[in-house]
Structure 1
Amino acid sequence: MRETRDQQLDGRLVMSAAAFAGSEPVAEARETARRFLTEVQSVHGIPVSDHVLGMVLLVVSELVTNAYKYAPGPCLLDLAVGDGVVEISVWDTDPVLPVARAADVGRVGQHGLEIVLGVCQSFEVRREPVGKRIKAAILLADDPNGYPPGHLA
């Protein structure tokens, strides 16, 4: 895995990591996300609750797993914090855009995109000159009204 650490880009904290088709790309991507959010909190003083950390790790796992399973070649994970959200972006080499499947209680597996759509504030998929990019955003606030962790309304 190749990593670029903690840059400032348009006022956002950004880190990128390329997880190539090695033996553990999903575990490496999750650890990259965990380190990034730990640094966001400890170095930059932006609160990140355990709940938000868990949701980010879940979304990173689902998106990188899909890239690893369906796209030949590398995938690129970009993480950013800004405007009260954690932005997760995964690029891969497969131009086929994912589609959420219809609900089916009898289906085992293949619920990843449904899960991602259910926990994210926003979700976007677009084709790139090579492959596609999926972007998802998770609120940093645990409160449904958008208050940061620890805020008393």
Structure 2
Amino acid sequence: MTTRSYTRSPALGADPLGARNAGWPPVRTTPAEARQLVRRMLTGLGPLRPSQVEDLLLVTSELVTNAHRHGGGVTGFGIGIGRDRVTVSVSDASTESPLYELREELRPGGFGWPIVLRLCCEVTVDTGPDGKTIHAAVAFDR
């Protein structure tokens, strides 16, 4: 298994086995279903800044959407709650790592991955023979 990291250390709160191996929660297939699950998981965390919650929901939507558009669909979904961050893990069947492209001209699409990288304090990509899992952590200060 190869890991490409966009930060210096593994995402805290991420499932070390990868989202596809977690077994629970069941695989979420749409961005709306994934956001709904994330909202439910956040209810017991106490007061969080609305902007942080919105950042996490946007990251969730972008990762699930990208799994559908570029990875053949979602094969796993997980949430890790740490002391100061929440990590969303999304698996798909593609072994291709996400691309960050600087664009010369305006055209639709291609903004999801840069948004994820900008909003997260840590992002890791674990790639194996059956696909990849992206772990994206959003920091919370309560």
> Do Structure 1 and Structure 2 share a fold, with TM-score over 0.5?
yes
- TM-score between both structures, scaled by the size of structure 2: 0.76
- Would the alpha carbon gap of residues 85 and 132 (structure 1) be closer, same or farther in structure 2, given more than 3 Å must change? same
1:3-152 equivalences in 2 (<5 Å): 16-20=25-29, 25-41=30-46, 47-141=47-141, 148=142
Aligned residues: 122
- TM-score between both structures, scaled by the size of structure 1: 0.71
Q: Secondary structure at the match of 1:127?
A: strand
Per-residue CA deviation, residues 5-24 of structure 1 (Å, 9 max, x unaligned), is xxxxxxx698634124xxxx
Per-residue CA deviation, residues 31-79 of structure 1 (Å, 9 max, x unaligned), is 11111111333xxxxx322111100100000000011122225432211
Shift of 1:29: 0.7
Shift of 1:83: 3.0
Percent identical: 33
Q: Which structure has more RCO (C-alpha within 8 Å, separation ≥ 6)?
A: 2
Q: Which runs of 5+ in 2 are unaligned?
A: 1-12, 16-23
User: What RMSD over aligned residues (CA atoms) do the two structures have, in Å?
Assistant: 2.1
- Would the alpha carbon gap of residues 108 and 19 (structure 1) be closer, same or farther in structure 2, given more than 3 Å must change? same
In the alignment, residue 93 of structure 2 is paired with which amino acid? T
The question of whether the paired residues in 1 share the 8 Å contact of 2:79 and 2:88 is answered with: yes
